[in-house]
Amino acid sequence: AGKAYRLVMENVVGVWSEAEFSYQIVITEYAGHARDYVQSLDLSEWSGIVIASGDGLVYEVVNGLFSRNDWQEAVKMPIGHLPCGSGNAFAASIIRHSKQPIAESVEKFVVQSAILIATHQVLPYDVA
C-alpha cells in the first residue's frame, strides 16, 4: 500500500487536479478488503473505479463486482488501473490498446495511465 500511495500522491494527484478529475482514495487494510468494499458500494454514486496496485488487486475488485447481486450491471462499471505493483499486465494492455508505447519508468507509466483515466478513455474488457 505504501508504494502505491506514494506513486499516486507524487505523480497522479497533480495530473488529476489539472484535469479537474474528482476522486476518493480508499486504502485497503486487509486481504480481501477491495472485494468487500466493491460488494457493498453504491455504484450509482460513482462513474468508475480506479485501482492503484499490481494486477492482484484489479482481479480482487473484478471478483467483488461479480459477487454482487446486481453483478450484471456492476461489471459494466469502468475500471482504471494505475500500475503500482510488480505485475502490471492489465495497465500495460490498456496502454498498448491506446497505441502508445509503454513508458520506461514506473512513475511515467503511472502518469500515462492517469492521463488515460482522466480523459475518460474507456475500452471494453473481457475478464472471462
The CATH number of the domain holding residue 17 is: 3.40.50.10330
For 19-67, what is each residue's pLDDT tens digit? 888 889 999 999 999 999 999 999 999 999 999 998 899 999 999 999 9
In a domain, 105, yes or no: yes
Burial of 80 (0-12, 13-18, 19+ CB in 10 A): buried
In a domain, 71, yes or no: yes
In a domain, 104, yes or no: yes
In a domain, 97, yes or no: yes
For 66-105, what is each residue's pLDDT tens digit? 999 999 999 999 999 999 988 788 888 888 888 888 878 8
- In sequence order, the β-bridge partners of residue 82 are 52
User: Is 70 in the active site?
Assistant: no
Among candidate residues 86, 77, 82, the one with its CA nearest the CA of residue 125: 77
Residue with cell 505523480: 11
Which value, to the nearest 10 degrees, does the dihedral of the CA atoms of residues 79, 60, 71, 98 take?
20
Count the residues in the chain: 128
The DSSP call for residue 103 is: P
The one catalytic residue among 42, 55, 70, 126: 55
In a domain, 37, yes or no: yes
* pLDDT above 80: residue 128: no
For 96-123, what is each residue's pLDDT tens digit? 888 888 878 888 889 999 998 898 877 7
Residue range of the domain that includes 29: 2-44+54-118
Domain count, the chain: 1
In a domain, 21, yes or no: yes
